[in-house]
Amino acid sequence: MTIEGLLIILLKIIGAVIIAFLGVILGLFYKGIDRKLAAKMQARVGPPIRQPFMDFFKLMIKENIVPENAVPWIFNGVPVMTLVATITILFYLPIGNISPLLSGYGDIVLIIYLLTLPAIGMVVGGFASGSPYANVGAQREMVMMMSYELPLVTTVIAIGWKLSQVYPQLNVFSLAVINAHPIWGLVGPLGFVGALLLLITLAIVTPGELSKIPFDVPEAETELAGGLLVEYSGRNLALFSLADAVKTIVMVSLTVALFFPYNIAHLFDLSGIFAIGIDSLFFLVKLLLIMFVEVTFIRVAAARLKIDQVSYAYWVPLSIIGLLGLSLIVLDTIMI
């Protein structure tokens, strides 16, 4: 291997460390903002924004208890795997006008597979804990995961298919390519309505992916005493909490990349580091606004659903909305 090749590998490793660190910090920070906004909407004072950081460090110094009936190596390995899989997705996400670290080494189909790993990990961890509460939570997580996959995949396929019709020479399922060619500029009136339906579909899938109210049935503290996580404590629980915070950033960033990839540096005639800076700040603002709509507002406005209601909501009405959005985009393309 040449010196140039080694240098590229070294730079990617450094970039991966920086992205992982920033993803963790940003995830915990936005989690604090989410809790604060939810409290204000419910006329409560709420915890300080730094509370997720305090919770994480407190859990890290607590004793890590492994249940007597658990399978130790699975029980302790799942939190690490969940966090690693979630952080890995960050390497494929564009930030403002900055290309993804692993651009060209994967596409959005890989991201969908990586998104399933945290859910699968929690299912395995729940079964491995030996707790009846965790077993129920694991079964619910499996049902919910199978339910929201169809609407999520429909959204991705629709956008990729439309891009393939306009730019057949490009890798249309590359998130960097999708980010560079916003769907709104590629469709007519029918396609615009279809894209709007796909946006609604993704917005409702997001709280399910994150197990947030009203789709938090796998944990359901008031029912299952924590469900999947009932037996986790100390460092393991801290890692799960960290993975949840990072996954929130991942899902919201995915919405930005698919539907709101716009930058504003050109409006101010900026270039170089100044363009990168203002577009990155604009990206953070978009994250905050979308997180408020997809996570905070929904969990404050809605009550927890039962597992059969969750499954029905994703399999029937939301899948129909997603397929209708796909159909409108196809019809729009034919008519054009």
- The reported pLDDT for the residue numbered 121 is 86
For 200, the token pair is 């609604």
For 107, the token pair is 């596409």
Residues in the chain, how many?
336
Q: Which helix (H) or strand (E) element contains residue 201? A: helix 189-209
Q: Residue 268 is part of which domain span?
A: 3-335
Q: Is the pTM of this model over 0.85?
A: yes
Q: What is the mean pLDDT of residues 267-294?
A: 88
Bridge partners, 95 (sequence order): 98
Per-residue pLDDT band at 52 (split at 50, 70, 90): very high
Residue 214: asked if its preceding bond is cis (omega within 30°), the reply is: yes
Q: Which of 11-25, 162-176, 224-238, 302-316 has the lowest mean pLDDT?
A: 224-238
Q: What is the mean pLDDT of residues 275-297?
A: 91
DSSP state of 295: I
- The reported pLDDT for the residue numbered 252 is 94
Backbone region of residue 317 per phi and psi (left: phi > 0; alpha: psi in -120 to 50; beta: other values): alpha
Please check the confidence at residue 103 and state whether its pLDDT lies above 90: no
The residues near 7 (Cβ < 8 Å, ≥ 6 apart) are none
pLDDT tens digit sequence for 79-93: 999 999 999 999 988
Do residues 295 and 210 lie in contact, with contact meaning Cβ atoms separated by under 8 Å?
Answer: yes
- The reported pLDDT for the residue numbered 106 is 64
Which residue do the tokens 């997603």 mark?
322
Q: Considering its fold, how many domains does the chain have in total?
A: 1
Per-residue pLDDT band at 1 (split at 50, 70, 90): low
pLDDT tens digit sequence for 107-133: 788 888 888 888 888 888 888 887 888
pLDDT tens digit sequence for 289-300: 999 999 999 988
